[in-house]
Structure 1
Amino acid sequence: MAINRIAFYHLETLLWIARLGTFAAAAARLNTTQPAISARVRELEGHLGTALFRREGRTMALTPAGRELVRESEPLWARFQGVLMGCSDISGATGVVRIGAGEIAAASCLPGFVAALGRDLPRVSLEIDVALTADLIQQLASGHADIAFAAGRVSHPMLQTAAIGGVDLLWLTSPMILDRIGGDTPIWSLSNLSPLYRIMKEAIAASRLAEWPVNLCNNVRAMIDIVLAGGGIGIFPEPMVRHHVAEGRLAPLPDAPAMPQIEFHAAIRAAEADPLILTVFDRASRLDLRATA
């Protein structure tokens, strides 16, 4: 067995395939090609004298030998990365960090956070994906994202979270229809694919507007544009409409029902061991949206 020919990149490749499930995903993560990933796997299997993967449909499943190697190598790899990072200035860290965020989180959490990361970790590249919360959780659990910012409570056995504060929700309409709002004026709410749907539904049901028509949309910015055009009443996160209110393009709804804040959480995999990802998560967990509102 040619142990002396096994390099760290062989183990890194193995661990990312095991996490992401395909050679193509591992190649994208490691900024290389799928043939290069296949070559590394063949080299590692050749040095060890055993198969590490078997194909199951479109994914690569670990063999028993592969599972054992992953289980034993993961803590060693994390420790090695920690040693390297501990021996160097964190500002010199390199790599790609994939950040997922819901639409509201992207407007509320990301701008300042990303700008600060760029200043402090100039050699780290960021890939940001704005998606629905359910998709973010799946991407995070599967290893396709490293950290996520989501509205509402994130509950998943494979994830750990940190609360980072809340954002106010406002009932708003266009001043052009403010004096003729009535029972036939539509209320715009996020769809049931959003964790905010329940908050909005309960608030509407408990208000004097309970019998008014409700329209659903899965995009906050589209709802804002509709209400700006005089298309009804909306319930919006304050950071996304702040400038419209300041400019008088949106006005508060008189006698509007009280709304709870949207709570935000940062999340990573519970088993995450990459020092760079843990550093980014630590910074995320110290965010306080209330201090920046």
Structure 2
Amino acid sequence: MNFDQLKTFLWVAKLGGVRRAAQQMNLSQPAVSARISALEEELGIKLFDRQKSGVVLTKEGLLLRSHAERVESYLSQIRAELTPSEEVKGTLRIGVAETIAQSWLSEFLSALRKHYPKLVVELSVDISMNLRDQLLSRNMDLVFLMGPLSEGNVENITLPSFELGWFCHPQTENKDLGSTPIISFSRLSRPYQELMSELMRRYREVGQVFPSTSLSTSFEMIASGIGVGVLPIQLAQRFIEANRLISFDPGWVPEDLIFTASYLNDPRDHTVYQVAQLALQIAKEYDKKTKPQKSEERNKSF
């Protein structure tokens, strides 16, 4: 029995099939099947039951999985603790919500490159719902998204939040949220759903609402006078300094945006954990540098 066999066994168990495990490990299906067969022969037990939809673990397979996951976790921890960060190799797949991409992502990537110069980073910017799906399907190793995620095999590290504020073009006259066009987050996002719920509760009828998957486009739409919008205050500062936006107070504002660094823990990859901690450090530094002083107590309704 060797670690390659155990690792292959775990991928087949997690993904429910030899073909999917082979794709994940960049191996041929016969190579994966051979490792499983060799493991079963050495242990003298049957690890999987074959079904039309794939494979499922036997009772003995379930027992081996718990042991194999502990072995994998221990080996990952050994590598993380004993291998100097500058010698860590591999590919790290990171997914990022646009709010993070527009704020502290560049500082984080610079720090990541400094600490892990031999680590190859594959970066994807997307909405939080898609990032969640990519993480759970194991197409991402680490995601920065609006969280936390509730799945039992996910660990969440809470990142600094983003305070929201209402903004409009300096010459906008109609700021009545019951009639003026409103620029918002993606229709599939949590902030959009919360915003629409509160608008309907307060105004019963509202004007046009323009959901956008692009934060930068939302700022440009507001700065062009198309409508008003509620967006992160920290990211609005450059528009305010350029006299392209002003803030206004309709008497309420949605709750802050909560972000997490989320990753799978079955088993935990200790390099991913350390990178997530680095992200937390960079995010805190950005937050301390850019977050405006909290205004006097505001009437938050959510």
Work out whether residues 70 and 267 of structure 2, in 8 Å CA contact, stay in contact via their aligned partners in 1. no
* AA of the residue aligned to 1:263: I
Q: Following superposition, which runs of at least 4 residues in structure 1 exceed 6 angstroms of deviation? A: none
Q: Is 1:70 matched up with 2:70?
A: no
Separation in 2, partners of 1:181, 1:77: 57
Sort the Cα spacing of 1:57 and 1:110 in 2 relative to 1 into closer, same or farther, 3 A.
farther
Question: 1:228 deviation in Å?
Answer: 4.0
Task: Give the corresponding residue for 1:232.
Answer: 227
Secondary structure, counterpart of 1:279 in structure 2: helix
Identity of aligned residues (%): 26
Match of 1:217 among 184, 191, 211: 211
Secondary structure, counterpart of 2:243 in structure 1: coil
Sort the Cα spacing of 1:272 and 1:107 in 2 relative to 1 into closer, same or farther, 3 A.
farther
Task: Give the corresponding residue for 1:82.
Answer: 77
Sort the Cα spacing of 1:161 and 1:244 in 2 relative to 1 into closer, same or farther, 3 A.
same
Task: Give the corresponding residue for 1:197.
Answer: 192
Q: How many residues align?
A: 285
Could you state the TM-score of these two structures normalised by the residue count of structure 2?
0.77
Match of 1:290 among 287, 290, 294: 287
Q: Is 1:170 matched up with 2:161?
A: no
Task: Give the corresponding residue for 1:3.
Answer: none
Sort the Cα spacing of 1:47 and 1:76 in 2 relative to 1 into closer, same or farther, 3 A.
same
Work out whether residues 187 and 212 of structure 1, in 8 Å CA contact, stay in contact via their aligned partners in 2. no
Match of 1:267 among 262, 266, 269: 262
Question: 1:60 deviation in Å?
Answer: 3.7
- Which stretch has the larger CA shift, 59-68 or 47-56? 47-56
Task: Return 5+ residue gaps in structure 2 as ranges.
Answer: 291-302
Separation in 2, partners of 1:198, 1:125: 36
Deviations 1:136-188 (A, max 9, x none): 3344345443322222544333333222211132322334x524666643112
- Which stretch has the larger CA shift, 159-168 or 266-275? 266-275
Task: Return 5+ residue gaps in structure 1 as ranges.
Answer: 1-5
* AA of the residue aligned to 2:229: G
Kindly report which structure 2 residues correspond to 1:85-104, keeping only aligned pairs within 5 A, or say none: 85-104=80-99
* Root mean square deviation of aligned Cα: 3.2
Deviations 1:7-32 (A, max 9, x none): 32121222233234444554454344
Q: Is 1:8 matched up with 2:26?
A: no
Sort the Cα spacing of 1:277 and 1:255 in 2 relative to 1 into closer, same or farther, 3 A.
closer
Q: Is 1:18 matched up with 2:13?
A: yes
Work out whether residues 19 and 142 of structure 1, in 8 Å CA contact, stay in contact via their aligned partners in 2. no
Separation in 2, partners of 1:139, 1:22: 19
Secondary structure, counterpart of 2:258 in structure 1: strand
Question: 1:46 deviation in Å?
Answer: 4.4
Question: 1:225 deviation in Å?
Answer: 4.0
Match of 1:129 among 124, 128, 131: 124
Deviations 1:98-123 (A, max 9, x none): 22333323333533222211210112
